Structure 1
């Protein structure tokens, strides 16, 4: 049976003719875009580090969040949380305090990406901290309270104490044997410990892990993008030099 087109309006197109002409227009309109995509016309020239969203930390800029006194206390803490030994330098030498300072000066310090409105109430241990305090506030209150405690008990600030005494105080904080004013001592200790470990093992771009010391200690190759040449090489020490997100020094020279 022969199909029929719908009657066309006077002087107009049938439905079949209209659909055919529309399809031809769509194909014709898409052709220039497809050609451009295939030939990469207009693609911007690649430049080293152009895709890095974070500016490398400039240590010469000084402290961005901590006061000089607070910074001295934090450096004294991280130096004992990660003491220097035969395997690596200390947390202070690795720049952990600088890492923490820059994080607190940024979005993390104010919990800008978290919901921070009430109601606030004590949660279960599994829920973690439920207080309205941000990390920046917790550091500011906790560091002042820690120095106040040390002045009362030892007649000196925390940073002025001998290493063994600092170890003892940190252990007491961890075990809640010391009660700091206006802040939970154990939660404060856990916050500083967590941030110290983050600074020690994070990419050097963020201020810690100076000279990729922790990566070299672990044998971690860093932010390498391609391992295809090494997939079948088992049980070998490839002796990779770690690479930061910021790239190698010869890349940076090109920028």
Structure 2
């Protein structure tokens, strides 16, 4: 008796198949089936075509001849964040004279120092974010270091423009287009405060540029300079090693392949 009642009850229930089929169609033709909401465009056009019964040919993959090759050693740190193109070229030329290429290794240009300086000026260091920059301002002693109202990025931009102005006045050329000897003479004039820099000692700009150049040569490549750690290799500096436990007790000089902060990500 109970078996007959169960069969009778099941016969009265509607079949689930049409409902399931309807749900499948809904998922197929809605954004849920492709992981998002359809808002038109290429995907919307394809789905609309399918709903009308049409079929679209799949797009042909791009041919090798039309796809530009991306160099394997492409350096994404070499992108401007602060400098204009002219300012970058001036910085590149000036830093190369401060740290030129020689028999011992590459110069500032090859090491990417201008990119390092550009990135520093785009960040908190360029904005003097950790310095007290509110008035009143007083004339500082030479031993007190940087005590000006200009932010570093403002002073650097002012000095680079002055480099070109002075070069045009004296040599009728921009700084980047002058000979190395002419470039050295201009930098010497700034170092000796022989140039009027609109109320700022020209030597202050030169000293800052000189310090930034050396920082770019020997900083971790993560910050844009010291490309391929060549600045470290010239000094036999090991970089950011995780430990020296295997070498610390040895008396002889040990030359190690340098490691950057980025290398630790690969090793970890």
What pairs up with 1:209-220 in 2 under 5 angstroms?
209-220=226-237
| TM superposition score normalised by structure 2 | 0.69
Q: In the aligned structure 2, how far is the partner of 1:138 from the partner of 1:71?
A: 15
> 1:92 aligns to what SS in structure 2?
coil
Find the partner of 1:58 among 68, 76, 83: 76
Counterpart for residue 255 of structure 2 = 239
Q: In the aligned structure 2, how far is the partner of 1:182 from the partner of 1:104?
A: 21
Number of residue pairs matched?
194
Q: Is the 8 A contact 2:166 2:186 kept in 1?
A: no
Find the partner of 1:95 among 97, 100, 112: 112
Q: In the aligned structure 1, how far is the partner of 2:247 from the partner of 2:156?
A: 44
> 1:228 aligns to what SS in structure 2?
coil
| Larger Rg computed on CA atoms | 2
What pairs up with 1:73-84 in 2 under 5 angstroms?
73-84=90-101
Counterpart for residue 164 of structure 1 = 181
Divergent runs of 4+, >4 A: none
Residue 246 (structure 1) shift: 1.4
For structure 1, list consecutive stretches of 5 or more residues without a partner in the other structure. 1-56
The alignment status of 1:131 with 2:137, answered yes or no, reads no
The alignment status of 1:152 with 2:169, answered yes or no, reads yes
For structure 2, list consecutive stretches of 5 or more residues without a partner in the other structure. 1-74
RMSD, aligned α-carbons: 1.6
Find the partner of 2:130 among 97, 100, 113: 113
Q: In the aligned structure 1, how far is the partner of 2:237 from the partner of 2:166?
A: 40
Q: Deviation per CA, 1:53-97: give whole Å up to 9, x if none.
A: xxxx8335x210000010010001011000100111011110110
Q: Evaluate the alpha carbon distance shift between residue 182 and residue 159 of structure 1 in structure 2; reply closer, same or farther with a 3 A threshold.
A: farther
Moved more, 137-146 or 180-189: 180-189
Counterpart for residue 70 of structure 1 = 87
The alignment status of 1:222 with 2:239, answered yes or no, reads yes
